[in-house]
Every structure is written in C-alpha cells, then in structure tokens.
C-alpha cells in the first residue's frame, strides 16, 4: 500500500513541476467562470490533499482580495 501511495505522490509532484514550467510567479493570467478576469500569479503550491493550487492577485480598479483556486481553472493570457 505504501508503494502505491509513494507512486501517486511522485506523480503529483512531477505534474506540478511540469505545470510550474508553464506558469511562473508574476505571469498574467485569465480566470473566472468565462476566463475574462485578469490576474497575476502570486504563488504555486500543493494543498494538503496534493492538488496543485495557485494564489491569484486580481488586476482591477478598486480593492480586491487574493483568490485561491485549483491550477486547472486558469488560462495563460495571450498578448494581442
């Protein structure tokens, strides 16, 4: 059982490393239901359950709180 658990943890770590190469701290991304809100990545990490998670600082007028969400709910902003 422990071998399977170690294999799963290693697979999650490599997934985060692969995604960490695509997303970096300070990248501008799109997030939200329709991927229309702009934000900056502040931190990439694994939550206690092993799910890749990202902390996003919204870029907007006014005062907004940082958003913590799963890594697979964001999209990299493409410059026009």
pLDDT in tens, 7-65: 777 776 666 555 556 788 899 999 888 888 899 999 888 888 877 889 999 998 778 89
pLDDT number for residue 12: 64
pLDDT number for residue 39: 92
Q: Containing domain of residue 25, as a range?
A: 2-76
* CATH number of the domain enclosing 49: 2.30.30
pLDDT number for residue 55: 92
Structural domains in the chain (count): 1
Grouping H, G, I as helix, E, B as strand and the rest as coil, residue 42 is: strand
Task: Provide the phi-psi class of 13: left if phi over 0, else alpha when psi is between -120 and 50, else beta.
Answer: alpha
pLDDT number for residue 13: 65
- The CA-atom distances, in angstroms, between 38 and each of 46, 55, 68 are 23, 13, 14
For the chain, list the strands marked E by DSSP.
28-31, 37-46, 52-58, 67-70, 75-76
pLDDT number for residue 42: 92
Residues across the chain: 80
């Amino acid at each position: 059982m422990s071998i399977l658990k170690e294999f799963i943890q290693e697979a999650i770590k490599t997934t985060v490393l692969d995604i960490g190469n695509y997303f970096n701290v300070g990248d501008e991304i799109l997030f939200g239901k329709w991927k229309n809100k702009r934000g900056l990545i502040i931190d990439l990490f694994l939550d206690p359950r092993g799910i890749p998670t990202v902390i996003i600082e919204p870029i907007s007028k006014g005062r907004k709180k940082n958003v913590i969400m799963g890594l697979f709910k964001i999209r990299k902003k493409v410059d026009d």
